[in-house]
Amino acid sequence: MELSGDPKDLVVGARELVPLADGRFVRYVNLDNAASTPPLVAVADAVSDLLPYYASVHRGAGYKSRFCTEAYEVARLRVGRFFGADPERDVVIFGRNTTDAINKLAHRLPTPVDGEPTERVVVTTLAEHHSNLLPWRARGRVVQVGLRPDGAIDLDQMKATLLRHAGRIDLVAVSGASNVTGLVPPIHELASWAHAAGAPILVDGAQLAPHRPIDVRPHDDPAHIDYLAISGHKLYAPFGTGALIGPRATFDQGAPEYQGGGTVDTVTPDGVIWAPAPDRDEAGSPNVVGAVALGVALETLAALGMDRVAAAEHRLLTAALHALRAVDGVRLLEPADPAADRVGVIPFEVLDDRGEPVDHRLVAARLAHEHGVGIRNGCFCAHPLLATLLDLPPDGIQAWSTRRSDGFRPGLLRASLGCYSDLDDIDRLAAAVAAIAKEPSPWTYQLDADGQFNPDTRPGWLPPRLRELLRH
């Protein structure tokens, strides 16, 4: 597969038509890749190849079981290799997604004993997705490094925090790229600072891995990334698998978070000897299809070249920002430093005649129903970051939930690019946003029970096979 060809050939479904409110059909423009990506064609093909041979793994003696066991373990090798993990010292643990991976690590790190005073902390930031914040809060004391008004991590504050708590930090936990601003903090520099303060570092790679090469680097490199969490569904392998990569030594000790079949070496009437990593942390029958899909996705991305993926995305991001800046009534939330490193995630608002933001729920609905453009709106599971970006008090998002009976909360619109996005997608987005900013909708929109706007007319067409999936 080549990046130089039509990028729409890379994934399944990039040319699918969807109905609009007026009954027309248009190509669906998916600019919600920060949430989930479609499968690469190579991934879908591999899954089709695998399914006729699908069988149990690990304990099955039959041909198919042995094949699936090998395919599962090869997937593990592929994931480790893609991120530069040390095959001897590191282990790749498959789980559901990034949230699962981070919770696994939060369980595994030595926990402060309940009720005992401790000075030990986890250092994280207010820019994190809730998945890289709440597991740490649940575990013990957390220090949250503050942000600049544009949502960038305050690196001076990070440095000072690491110095202040040096020797007492269980972990530094940061996102490799923000799911709201797209900003990319200097993860290897942060790793060096963390190590100098005696702490390991976790990079939540959910948003960085699909856009940039990540190399965790050798263990003796001061800029080494100790732990990395990723999601397959954000990496063109939406089959329910993610991974946690980290030192084998961490996962070879202690009881696992989930206990049961597959996690043990031996069970006696009153005792258990746990299996070594990674089995200890992969309770129950694993998601073989998901793991194989993730392995194939990473092999395919490696063949495309992540540097080339990043360069192509940078060109497209530049074009998208240029196009959106030219639209009257659009406010882009831009980094204070125009040269700041960022992935293809574009937060914005549409403003009315008085310069007030139009309800983000309505804009997102109009983009979908009137233009066939799929983006995301809301707070993106990052309330502290949204409060900063929208200049609200720290509890500013929550305060709104009691203020408006229709469920409105402040939020943003977010368009996000994938490796198959192209200039036509950007043109469609910019034209759609321009039309929405200029003209009121010809349709009347009503809020549904989920807090989403729908127009008063819905063609509701679906191909018969999809209709079958919704029959109940």
Ligand X SMILES: Cc1ncc(COP(=O)(O)O)c(C=O)c1O
The residues annotated as belonging to the active site are: 381
Token pair in block for residue 337:
């430093």
Burial 145-166 (b: 16+ CB within 10 A, else e): bebbeebbbbeebbbebbeebe
Contact criterion met (CB below 8 Å) for 92 and 83: no
According to the binding rule CB under 6 A, does residue 299 interact with ligand X? no
Residues in region 25-44 near ligand X by CB under 6 A = 35
According to the binding rule CB under 6 A, does residue 103 interact with ligand X? no
Q: Which helix (H) or strand (E) holds 71?
A: helix 63-82
Contact criterion met (CB below 8 Å) for 39 and 236: yes
Which residue, 33 or 69, is less far from ligand X as judged by CB?
33
Residues in region 225-264 near ligand X by CB under 6 A = 231, 242
Which residue, 29 or 243, is less far from ligand X as judged by CB?
243
Least distance from ligand X to the Cβ atom of residue 411, Å:
15
According to the binding rule CB under 6 A, does residue 99 interact with ligand X? yes
Which residue, 36 or 56, is less far from ligand X as judged by CB?
36
According to the binding rule CB under 6 A, does residue 76 interact with ligand X? no
What's the CA gap between 195 and 207, in Å, rounded? 23
Residues in region 358-397 near ligand X by CB under 6 A = none
Of the listed pieces 58-66, 103-111, 204-212, 391-399, which binds ligand X according to CB under 6 A? Answer: 204-212
Least distance from ligand X to the Cβ atom of residue 102, Å:
7
Query: Rounded to the nearest 10 degrees, how much is the dihedral formed by the CA atoms of 206, 210, 211, 212?
Result: 80
Q: Where are the beta strands (DSSP E) in 269-350?
A: 271-274, 330-332, 345-350
Site for ligand X (CB under 6 A): which residue of 30, 33, 124, 175? 175
According to the binding rule CB under 6 A, does residue 207 interact with ligand X? yes
| 3-state class (DSSP) for residue 465 | helix
What's the CA gap between 197 and 154, in Å, rounded? 17
Count interface residues toward ligand X (CB under 6 A).
14
Site for ligand X (CB under 6 A): which residue of 37, 69, 131, 181? 131
Contact criterion met (CB below 8 Å) for 345 and 421: no
The binding site for ligand X (CB under 6 A) comprises 35, 97-99, 129, 131-132, 175, 179, 204, 206-207, 231, 242
